[in-house]
Structure 1
Amino acid sequence: MSRRALTLLIAGFLVLALGVVGAFRPVPYVVLSPGPTEDTIGTFENKPVIAISGRQTYKTSGALRLVTVAYQGGPQARIDLLTALRGWIDPTVAVVPEETIFAPDRDPEKVEEENAVEMTDSQDSATAAALNELKIPYSTVVTVVAVDKGTPAEGKLQKGDEFNTVDGKPATNGDVIGNAVKAHKLGETVTFNVTRGKEKLDVTMKTAAGPDGKPRIGIQMQAKYKFPFEVDINVGDVGGPSAGMMFSLGIIDKLTPGELTGGKQIAGTGTIEPGGQVGAIGGIAQKMVGAREAGATVFLTPRDNCAEAMKAAPEGLRLVRADTLHDAVLALDALRTGKGAVPACETR
């Protein structure tokens, strides 16, 4: 063998070896793929996804599927280059920079915890939105979720305290409480009536200067809903707020006679506000693929996701635009009865 041929052979081998080694090197990307779907009027691990007690419920049919995105990779378990390349080729998945999912300055475990909190908040908002749609009254109460150390509230208020009044006026929301505190001068006394366990207590404290120099007492608050019956939602470790609209529709279907789906396989996504506003989500392309694979023929889509959804919708999946929960209910009624308008996604 000539020296030239030998040199080319060795060079080719080295390039191949480097390519093989490089293919298995970790890279800072995340692969997003269609995740599991769950039927909000069905069961999860042999238990109802939505269990309602203390209120009459009705028979349902078909499916109202929430959809998810699965991810592979992350700072603690990076994918290799070969996996990323396969993802770039596969039209049903997306490969995105790691920082779009995991901010560089945030602990991945903390992100998972926040997703779990968002899911819990989403379930409460979904219940509130469903009850608003059905005109079923409920109440809210502001609770203490944390007390800052070294502040006037330390030793006075406790986590879990429920506010009744502030300075003798109803504490209807967090803004009312915050504004009442700020209306005082530094060092003035603010008076609360709170429910702690089974007791109602009057609690007083003097305001102190916060980092911005304005009066504060040093607490973190959260609105808590008090519903007239119990709604328990069970979806395992699914996190994030994007299933909100589908939870609301599942609750409505169970609380009303007739079958909202008309026996169809309906899927959808979107955050939900207590007032019924539907918000945009991420991963719409992967969620639609998961929905179609699960048998869905209709996909409820937030308005701000429509443009992206229209480019990636799989064959056989009809996109129905949902600006609000009420719109979604009307659209499902129209699909079931054949009467009324069914808003479609359209380019803007």
Structure 2
Amino acid sequence: MTGLSATHRYLPPSARARRRSLWWTAIVLALLAPMAWLINLPYFAASAGPTDDAVDAVIIEEDLAVFHPEGELLLLTVSLQPVNLYEAAIAFFDQKIDLIERESLRPGGETDEEARRRNLRAMDRSKDIAIAVALSELGLEETLAEGVEVVRVFGEAPAFDALSDGDLVVEMESQPVRTVEDIRRILENRRPGDEVQVTVIRNAEPTDLSFALHENPEAPERAMVGITASTAYPIEIDSANYGGPSAGMIYTLAIIDLLEQGELTDGRVVAGTGTISMDGSIGAIGGIRQKLVAAEAAGADVVLVPRDNYDEAGAAPVEVEIVAVETISEAVSYLREGNAGIIEGQ
């Protein structure tokens, strides 16, 4: 008599086929899983980056009165990391991380190094504007101006053979030069080709120069020196390796807080992000959700954000108080008196 052993169960052919299929699927997935680490995607994972007190980055010459606040003005950043298939899958399900197409951050095949240099240039420009706007807000812009620093001389300009990067222009046509606006005023009635006499500080020594004025490419009848320049002040900002323009607002507030008696923060931890323009307007930035996550993790009591980022900020997975501001005056008013356009308790 034949029969089945008690330790064996009969499986019909269809069940055996399904079992083999599952085993083969498991084997294939096991073999493919390591490859997920090797497949890089054209995306960046944007997550909360480090935070720093912007006040610590401001360097002011010793002969100026400085009032160190007890509170903090936090600079917010975003961390960008290229992702493989496995990391992208994790980021997709994490509410605090966004996947951003590489092309939107590195347009035209821009390399990481090219992007780094571009962002550092944007930061340098942002710092210059932050200093000028802060001093303007305090009424000290002209008082503390030391001259006009030459950033770059146009290669096609006659001044190319006379001026050097880093020169500090302090006099033009026997008139004192303290700000960029002074140069514009002096050249207002000059024509391209006119010769000008200039005194610069070079290597800590005054140097007299002369050169012909350059033609303004946007208005050929108007004269220009042929340089990019910025007004020099006894203030510097050490931005370390941070790039981009989004720290403009918080650096501006840090300078104001240091030079003004009294305290903007009132002992609070205030975080903020937003670009700054010469007219004091605060512009939108990228990565607002991640920056809010960073602010909350750093213990911020309130976060100042550009008005144009407010709707997106409200969708961030945080509970910290968010205040939308449009100008630096509005931000200062809120910190001093609690007045601002939009306040949202999350």
Q: In structure 2, which of residues 298, 317, 336 is the aligned counterpart of residue 333 of structure 1?
A: 336
Task: Report how far residue 14 of structure 1 moved.
Answer: 3.1
RMSD of Structure 2 on Structure 1 (CA): 3.5
Task: Report how far residue 318 of structure 1 moved.
Answer: 1.3
Q: Does the CA-based 8 Å contact 1:133-1:326 persist in structure 2?
A: yes
Task: Report how far residue 195 of structure 1 moved.
Answer: 1.8
Matched, 1:141 2:148: yes
Q: Does the CA-based 8 Å contact 1:307-1:345 persist in structure 2?
A: no
In structure 1, stretches of 5+ residues that fail to align are 42-47, 74-78, 336-340
Q: Does the CA-based 8 Å contact 1:306-1:345 persist in structure 2?
A: no
What SS class does the counterpart of residue 133 from structure 1 fall into? helix
2:246 aligns to what?
242
What SS class does the counterpart of residue 331 from structure 1 fall into? helix
What SS class does the counterpart of residue 67 from structure 1 fall into? strand
Task: Return the index of the structure with the highest Cα Rg.
Answer: 2
Q: C-alpha deviations, 1:18-64, integer Å up to 9, x for none?
A: 455245311111011000111123xxxxxx33232221122412221
Distance 2:175 2:258 in 1: 40
CA shift in 2, pair 1:174/1:285, >3 Å: farther
Distance 2:235 2:201 in 1: 24
**In percent, how many aligned pairs have the same letter?**
30
Q: In structure 2, which of residues 24, 27, 31 is the aligned counterpart of residue 13 of structure 1?
A: 27
2:69 aligns to what?
60
> 1:305-316, aligned counterparts within 5 Å?
305-312=309-316, 314-315=318-319
CA shift in 2, pair 1:30/1:64, >3 Å: same
Distance 1:206 1:131 in 2: 30
2:58 aligns to what?
50
CA shift in 2, pair 1:158/1:62, >3 Å: closer
Task: Report how far residue 304 of structure 1 moved.
Answer: 1.0
1:45 aligns to what?
none
Distance 2:334 2:327 in 1: 11
Q: C-alpha deviations, 1:80-100, integer Å up to 9, x for none?
A: 111111111111011111111
2:340 aligns to what?
342
Task: Report how far residue 160 of structure 1 moved.
Answer: 3.3
Q: In structure 2, which of residues 279, 283, 286 is the aligned counterpart of residue 282 of structure 1?
A: 286
Task: Report how far residue 103 of structure 1 moved.
Answer: 1.9
1:319 aligns to what?
322
> 1:116-127, aligned counterparts within 5 Å?
116-127=120-131
Q: In structure 1, which of residues 254, 260, 280 is the aligned counterpart of residue 258 of structure 2?
A: 254
Task: Report how far residue 238 of structure 1 moved.
Answer: 1.6
Distance 1:99 1:195 in 2: 44
Task: Report how far residue 258 of structure 1 moved.
Answer: 2.1
2:273 aligns to what?
269
Q: In structure 2, which of residues 190, 206, 209 is the aligned counterpart of residue 199 of structure 1?
A: 206
**Which AA in structure 2 matches 1:122?**
S
How many residues align? The count is 321
Matched, 1:29 2:43: yes
> 1:24-173, aligned counterparts within 5 Å?
24-41=38-55, 48-52=56-60, 53-73=62-82, 79-138=83-142, 139=145, 141=148, 143=150, 145-148=152-155, 152-163=158-169, 164-165=171-172, 172=181
CA shift in 2, pair 1:154/1:283, >3 Å: same
Task: Report how far residue 145 of structure 1 moved.
Answer: 0.9
Residues 90-99 or 253-262, more deviating: 253-262
Q: Does the CA-based 8 Å contact 1:118-1:239 persist in structure 2?
A: yes
**Which AA in structure 2 matches 1:307?**
D
TM-score if structure 2 supplies the norm length?
Answer: 0.78
Task: Report how far residue 116 of structure 1 moved.
Answer: 2.0
Distance 2:65 2:41 in 1: 53
TM-score if structure 1 supplies the norm length?
Answer: 0.78
Q: Does the CA-based 8 Å contact 2:271-2:304 persist in structure 1?
A: yes
Task: Report how far residue 104 of structure 1 moved.
Answer: 3.1
Distance 2:34 2:93 in 1: 19
